[in-house]
Structure 1
Amino acid sequence: MKVGNIEQFKHLSQFRDLKDFNNNIEQWMIDLKSKFTKSELIALKRLIRYSSKVAGVCNAKIATIVSATHELDGIGISRSTFKRMVTKAKAFGLLTVYETERKNGSQSSNLYVFNRYPVKEDVSISQTIELPKEKKLNCPQTNNLSKTSNQNNINKRNENVSDKKYLGDKLDGSFTSSRVPAEFRDLVKCFYDDYKTIEELWKVIQIQTYYLTYYSLDDRISLAIDSFKQLIRNIKQGRKVRNIFGYYWGIVQKKLDAEYKSILFEVA
């Protein structure tokens, strides 16, 4: 394969876009995170970041990636660590590596292509459920249709008035979106029993960990719960918090920064 600009390898990408790539990496990390050492995870994380221009494809030189871990991550890794990571990733099916060559035939940098997370093929609904055949309906006469339509509109207006009267404006924690983990929802609603507050707090976790593709759902839940407990503890101790979302954001950010520094010192 001839070396070239990364745009020339778009056809090798297995992902619709960057979000699709990140979602697949997240699934891979649930299975594989424990298989890599912490230094190998730093190497993998940097390779993932270099694979964002064309989702899941990278043609950067090893020296470039290793240098970035020194300059951008604070404490870097060695070439041998990067190569060990690539060997493992290939064995697990996470990566496919292609050799490239220059015009004169000499070997150039490798091309790294991330693979989609393997899932079983979904069976089409139409194959498992027999859909009813289309039937002709007897259309009502014009006068009857008009009367029916007017009656339905009256009933709908009455229902809306009734809904507003009895539901009120505020919905409690039981109305929280199913996208929010139950463990986090149940904890937060003990203090803020409002679906919108719970969802906004969880959104902070999603945004802060968006690029931490090695984070599993359990990691996010643990981070969310620990950070919320610290928020409540600080408030109970007298800390004045005008905006709980901004304050919560700061707590989460500090925890992630501390975790990252801990990883770097351990691999030093």
Structure 2
Amino acid sequence: MLVAGRIENFKDYSKFSSLKEFNNTIEMFLAEHKKDFTKGELVAFKRLVRFSAKYAGVANAKIGTLVKAINEKLKGFGVSRSTFERMLRKAKDLGILSIENTAKSKGGKGHNVYIFNTIDVLKERKLTYCENPEKPCDSKSEDTYFEGETSILLKTSKKKNLKIRKDVDLDSTFTASYVPKEFVHAVKPFFDHAAVIEDFWKSVFLDTKAISHIVEQDTITYTAINAFKQAIRGYKRGKVKTNLVRYFTGTFKKLMDQVYSELPLHVFSSSK
């Protein structure tokens, strides 16, 4: 068990390289799971997120302290301890949060340490999740995960919402037109969010900008799809040590280097 102490003692538990990466993860998590929390639980969740800003994704505080801070901020119209505890259970069950207990140096229970997980850990749970725990999940071969639109691993609500939402709340049908449809179709069974799909494609665009006049667009697109499939396989096998977009980017670069090296010499001479 960890020893209770100042937040600086737990900074190495942060799983994020920056506050921006942490905030992006929270946005993607809420895009998928906002509906799973009550209004009070969302207030509690967002307050915990704010408490986790000094060292991205890590907070250490007693529940009573957090509840008090919320109530003071909202002038008495805050949340109860039971609401905060329900939020913690849901966040932990959904995979976004890990909770470590601490002990005081002189004995007795100390504060909790709240550690937010990266999107990779979150999606790993989604990829292996069985909605009905009393009914075993059907076994699936590795290739089943890459059968396109028919292998929907992340089920998203199809209900229409007339409110204007942030980009991260928009599903794959709102993906910008500069992203090839083939790539959208490959990614959306896993990430049915326009902003996430665009983030993956930005890596492709930046890495091929200088050679787009040499390599055909179809080649780039299908290399990117292949890289995404390999990234998912690597992720499921526990090879992803940073986050999935970075792993995908590295995989895509390697595949494109191979494609580029195999181009005939006359292509380079004609491009001058």
Return the TM-score normalized by structure 1: 0.48
Which structure would you say has the larger Rg?
1
Return the TM-score normalized by structure 2: 0.47
